[in-house]
Structure formats: C-alpha cells, structure tokens
Amino acid sequence: MCNEKEQKNCGCISEILGKILMLQNQNFDNESYAGCDKPYLGPVCNSICYNTRPITLYNCCTGNPWSFPYTLNGTTNTSSVFRVEALDDCCCTCRILAFDETTNGYVSTNDFATIDLNCVGAIRCLADTFIDVC
C-alpha cells in the first residue's frame, strides 16, 4: 500500500479507466483518440469483434504490476491482466483475466479485485480482444 503522504489524486488513471469502461459498455462517442483512450475497441470501429481492452496496473510505490490469484478449471494461478468492470471514484473493480496458451489469448475468470487507484502509478493497455464474459 502506498504511504498516505505519497497518495495523489487518482484523476488521470480514473479518467482513462472510465473511458475504457464506456467503450466496453459500447457507450462511446466519435472523437478521435489514440492509445488507451481511443474511442472504440480494436483497430477499427467495430464492437462486434472486440469487447475488452485488457489492462495492467502498476503499483505507484514499487513500480511492479498488481497481480492477483484466480482459479480456472480447478487450477489456481496469478495474473496481472484485468478487464475493468466498475469504477467508483478512486476504486476500480477488475475481472482477473487468464492467458490461454491454446488460443494465445485471454479468457475471463470469475475472480475480481478492487484496486485503490491512489496506489496505481501507471496503466498499460494491451491489444483489444473479445472476452466471453460470464
């Protein structure tokens, strides 16, 4: 956990995650952006093929990615790749995504983590994908 004296306003990270959540819910505008806040999922505006912008969040004190355990098909592992599910001020609820080596892509788990965005120093957006969300 970050030292309270070092905590900052989570506005920047929260705004990006809010945009990602809007995109995943298909509530986007036609503005032209690049990077994490691009107004559509995928290389072109086509929400049929893409419904998730996977992210990795980095701890503001250590620089390490946040990583959480999950259980999928009876196997327990850890992952640092998430799907934004909800955003409430400086708290972000994320679905933990697992990497599937057979498809070379991410799959949805039923495990979630709520992260205090005051303790997030950076966000990395991965390639947009389709996740079968339970």
Tens digits of per-residue pLDDT, 59-70? 999 999 999 999
Q: Could you list the residue range(s) of the whole structural domain that residue 115 is in?
A: 7-125
Average pLDDT, the chain: 84
Q: Does residue 32 carry a pLDDT above 80?
A: no
Q: Is residue 134 part of a domain?
A: no
Residue 1 belongs to a domain: no
Share of the chain above pLDDT 90, in %: 54
- Residue at 81 is within a domain: yes
Is 131 within the bounds of a domain?
no
Report the domain count for the chain: 1
Reported as a single tens digit per residue, the pLDDT across 81-123 is 999 999 998 999 999 999 999 989 999 999 999 999 999 999 9
Indicate the pTM of the whole model. 0.79
Q: Is residue 105 part of a domain?
A: yes
Confirm whether 132 is domain-assigned.
Answer: no
For residue 68, tell me if it sits in a domain: yes
SS (H, E, C) the chain: CCCHHHCCCCHHHHHHHHHHHHHHCCCCCCCCCCHHHCCCCCCCCCCCCCCECCEEEEECCCCCECCEEEEECCEEEEECCEEEEEEECCEEEEEEEEEECCCCEEEEEEEEEEEEHHHEEEEEECCCECCCCC
